[in-house]
Every structure is written in structure tokens, then in C-alpha cells.
Amino acid sequence: MKHYSILVTIILGIILTNSACKKEDNTNSEPENILAGGETTIFSSGPDAYTFPSANLNAEEINKHFVADAAFAQHFVSAPAENFDGLGPLFNQNSCESCHTRNGRGIVPENGQDFNSGLLLRMSMAGVGEYQGIVPVPGFGGQLQNKAIFSVQPEGKISITETEKIITYLDGEEVTLRKPVFTVTETYIPLPAGVLLSPRIAPPVYGLGLLEAVPEASILALADENDVDNDGISGKPNMVWDIPSQSMLLGRFGWKAEQPSALQQSAGAAHDDMGLTSHYFPEEHCVGQDNCQEGLQTEYDVDAETLEMFAFYFQTLAVPARRNYTATDVIRGEELFVEAKCATCHVPKLTTDNFSITALEHQPIYPYTDLLLHDMGEDLSDERPVFSASGSEWRTPPLWGIGLTLVVNPKTGFLHDGRAKTLEEAILWHGGEAETAKNFFTNLSKTDREAVLAFLNSL
Ligand code: HEC
Ligand code: HEC
Ligand SMILES: [Ca+2]
Ligand SMILES: [Ca+2]
Ligand SMILES: [Ca+2]
């Protein structure tokens, strides 16, 4: 890790001269939810809005954040090399940042091209595997790696076609929705029949330490698995395998809440997306391919300290404050958001508890999520269960900072596969438990629909 320290001094110099993350007046009359991340909140609305460290880190934590930043941005290379080797043999991209563009969402593939996008395909066979998890695909494992180091053949390519669906509002206005359909082509061996595929776009990574610091009990208290209060909305935790404790814990990260901690999320990403082994995942991710030995090493590709750096970086990335919150349409939109019952899943307020990072402790936060799984209907289903999540169940994604998504990366999209080009399209795809909320939205006047979107854009 010593190689990062030179960079730190340089980056620190840059950040100290940057005043984007300070605000002078914050009077008491303003609503609390402006400070989406409590005292960690920063003030920025530009393309770099997701790149600032939490505002209240102490000097030591700031320093660690910038060391961690270098790890997140590091482009790994194939072995042998002096530093940062171990990439592959099979991988999707060579750095964390290349998928999580400016810490925001990944680039959505266009014209059937997946090559440098932030999208990947999870895969499995039907059935329940080890630790209640998935059954890996023989020869392919749990994820398609579409890149490989020199002399190794990638597992295959992602091919994309689209289907269309037209939504007509009561006032006659139409919206055309496009749903991508993914297939795997040019595989190195024939793909077995009956493979289940789940497309995932890289989600934004800011504010995640705060979500990790919300006590499990607060999240479980929001669950209503059998819909006892009879409002059509259930919400259930995904209980997933935690490697260090060798037990089932509440899943928090990923589109289906498959990972229980920032550390395991980081180890999983390093392993599955970049081919980096660690003490969490000690074996190279190459199943059934003869020449995969090429990338094998005598020690792990990344040590425990590097994993910790990956995690610390996104744990301490700040959430940007709300904007335009005094505008009348934004205020109206917030009321409609509650009336439509969007807020039953996108729960506005949570509170963090004791945590390993002092700056994140005991903060009132406004993430607009319950971190629970909800049945979102057939149109959003990937038909690939994982742990307690069925094909149509997804974790409510946080909405904080969502209004800046396209400012940070205009080439991205919303929902788990990035299919929605706008926030409006994202709402229109809601079904299942969210069908009633969606219908509430489609039955609104144009002015009121725009108010809801104005509210979302103020987050
Ligand atoms: C090939 C693209 C790609 C690369 C490279 C990549 N990620 Fe991701 N990342 C994703 C996708 C896709 C997901 C969603 C996965 C899921 O739904 O389970 C994700 C999810 C995450 C999440 C969870 C976010 C949330 O809101 O729950 C974190 C944190 C994360 N990645 C961190 C990292 C780190 C750290 C690295 C580098 C070690 C990395 N990623 C490398 C694509 C990538
Ligand atoms: C039953 C729970 C539920 C309700 C009610 C609900 N949502 Fe969602 N929302 C979700 C889930 C789950 C997703 C992710 C679905 C996916 O990616 O396939 C989502 C996704 C979104 C997204 C895209 C987020 C992203 O990161 O891409 C937006 C925007 C959104 N919802 C807004 C709303 C609005 C506005 C309403 C009310 C009209 C609403 N939601 C009602 C559960 C809900
Ligand atoms: Ca490797
Ligand atoms: Ca694979
Ligand atoms: Ca309920």
C-alpha cells in the first residue's frame, strides 16, 4: 500500500483548494432532509458531486479516504508485474472505477455492445446451492466474464436486443418504454441449457457506510413479509451468507441485497469483476477452462489491507445535499410522493447507530430506502432467485443524490439493468407491490407528474 501514499499528498493538495463542499448558511427553518447524509453531507451539484469525502471526517480519516481513493481508481494488470497485478485470468473490467463512473452508475451498453460498459451478467442453474445461495453454471460459475488476460479466452459475449412497451396517460400523452433482453454469445464452450441470467448495472457507491451503520433491528422492523397491515406492500429482508461469521446475516448491498457488509461486497467485486483473489475468495474464478492456471499465484492477489481500502473509500463517500427544495413544484411533489405510497418502500428517514467509523455514527439520514426486498412484478423480473430473493424481488434502491445521476454520467440509466433513461421511465416500470403507487402516478395530471419528478430531481 506504500505506493498510494505519494498520491495522497497530491490529491489532498487538490481537495484542500476545492471549496465545493462547504456551505455558509444553514438556518434552522430549512427541512432536515436537505442534509441527506446528516453531518456527513456535502454541497455540490456538478459532475463530481459523488466524489467528495464525508464532510465531518477527522484528519486521520481524510488521509485514509484518499489512500482508499487511489485503490478504487487503480487499474490492475496481469501477473507478473511489480505492483497491482493478479488481474484475471477472467474479468469484466480492470478497476472499480471503470464500472462505477465517478462513483455513480455504470455506462449502459449501446447497440448490443457490452465491451466497456458498467453492466455485467450474473448466471446460475435452477435450484438452491451451498449456504442457500445459487447453483453455479458448470464451466462458467456465477457470473459471465467477458474479458480475459492475454492468451486466455473470455467466457463469452453479451448480446442485447430490445422489446418495446407503450404507456398512455389519461391525458393521452405516450411514453415508449424499452426493455433490454440479454443473451450470451460466442461462449468458449457451449452454454448448458437452462441457464438463468441476471443483468446488473453498476449502482452508485456513495453514502454506503451510512447504510451499513443502520442497525439491523431498524431494518427488520420495517419488514412486513405477510402484509399484516394489508396495504399491499410487504418488504422482506434478504438473509445472505456472511463469510467471516459463517452465518446468515441481513443483506444490504447490491440490487438484490446479496452482500451483508462493505468488506464482503468489496471482496466479491474484486474477485468476480476483476479476477482478484483474497482471503475471502482464495481461488481464481475460472471454472473448467484448461489454461486458467496462467493467472494462479502463490499468494492472494489483494491483501486484507487493500480490501479494507476498497471498502473504506465508498463507506466514507459523501451524499450530496438536496437542491431546489423551496420550489413550489418540489414541495408539491414531495406530498404526492407520500400520498402515492412511494415512501412506504423508499422510506425517507433512517438513523445510524454505533459504527466502526466515528463520523458516520448517530446520524439522521434521508436515503429513501428500507433496504428490503419487494416484488416488483413480471416486467422487472430476471427469473433468477438468489438467497431469499425471488426473480421479481429487488432491494428498494436509495434515492438520495438520484437527481444528479445524469449530470455525473449522461450515458447511464435507472433500474437494475439501466433500462430506464429517465426517472419517469423508472416509475412507469414499477409493478407488483408497487403497482398501486405506479397507477397513482399515471393517473395524475401532467403538472402533478412533473411535480413528482421535480421532487426526485431535488434529491
Ligand atoms: C464490471 C463492472 C464492475 C466492477 C469492475 C466493479 N463493480 Fe461494483 N458493482 C457492479 C455491479 C453490476 C453491481 C451490482 C451488483 C449486484 O446487484 O449484486 C456492483 C455493486 C457494488 C456495490 C454495492 C452498491 C450498492 O448500492 O449496494 C459496491 C459498494 C461496489 N460495487 C463496489 C465495488 C468495488 C470496491 C469494486 C472494485 C474492487 C467494484 N465495485 C468493481 C459493477 C462493477
Ligand atoms: C413496493 C415498493 C416500492 C414502491 C411502492 C415504490 N418503489 Fe420505487 N423502487 C422500488 C424497487 C424495488 C426499485 C428497484 C427496481 C429494479 O431495479 O428493478 C425501485 C426503483 C425506483 C427508482 C429507480 C432507482 C434507481 O436507483 O434506479 C425510482 C426513481 C423510484 N423507484 C421511484 C419511485 C416513486 C416515485 C414511487 C411512487 C410513485 C415508487 N418508486 C414506489 C420499490 C418501490
Ligand atoms: Ca487473479
Ligand atoms: Ca464466470
Ligand atoms: Ca404492508
* Measured CA distances, 99 to 57, 104, 106 (Å): 26, 9, 5
If one counts the domains in the chain, the total is 1
Tell me whether residue 54 is in a domain.
Answer: yes
Indicate yes or no: pTM above 0.85.
yes
Neighbours of ion ligand 4 (CB under 5 A): 140-141, 145
Domain span at residue 323? 4-70+316-458
* 253 touches ligand 1 (CB under 6 Å): yes
Tell me the DSSP string of 419-442.
-BSSHHHHHHT--GGGHHHHHHHH
- According to DSSP, residue 8 is labeled H
- Cα–ligand 5 centroid distance for 432 (angstroms): 13
Give the pLDDT score at 111: 74
Tell me whether residue 51 is in a domain.
Answer: yes
* Measured CA distances, 82 to 25, 91, 219, 301, 383 (Å): 49, 20, 45, 12, 43
Whose CA is closest to atom 29 on ligand 1?
205
pLDDT band of residue 151 (cuts 50, 70, 90) is confident
Tell me whether residue 348 is in a domain.
Answer: yes
CB–CB of 184/195 below 8 Å?
Answer: yes
CB–CB of 285/271 below 8 Å?
Answer: yes
- Cα–ligand 5 centroid distance for 230 (angstroms): 5
* 309 touches ligand 1 (CB under 6 Å): no
Tell me whether residue 435 is in a domain.
Answer: yes
Whose CA is closest to atom 16 on ligand 1?
254
Tell me whether residue 404 is in a domain.
Answer: yes
Segment 322-331, tens digit of pLDDT = 999 999 999 9
CATH assignment at residue 356: 1.10.760
* 397 touches ligand 2 (CB under 6 Å): yes
pLDDT band of residue 199 (cuts 50, 70, 90) is very high
pLDDT band of residue 10 (cuts 50, 70, 90) is very low
Segment 19-70, tens digit of pLDDT = 444 444 445 578 899 999 999 999 999 999 999 999 999 999 999 999 999 9
Tell me whether residue 353 is in a domain.
Answer: yes
- Cα–ligand 1 centroid distance for 254 (angstroms): 7
Tell me whether residue 123 is in a domain.
Answer: no
Tell me whether residue 390 is in a domain.
Answer: yes
Residues facing 125 on adjacent strands: 135
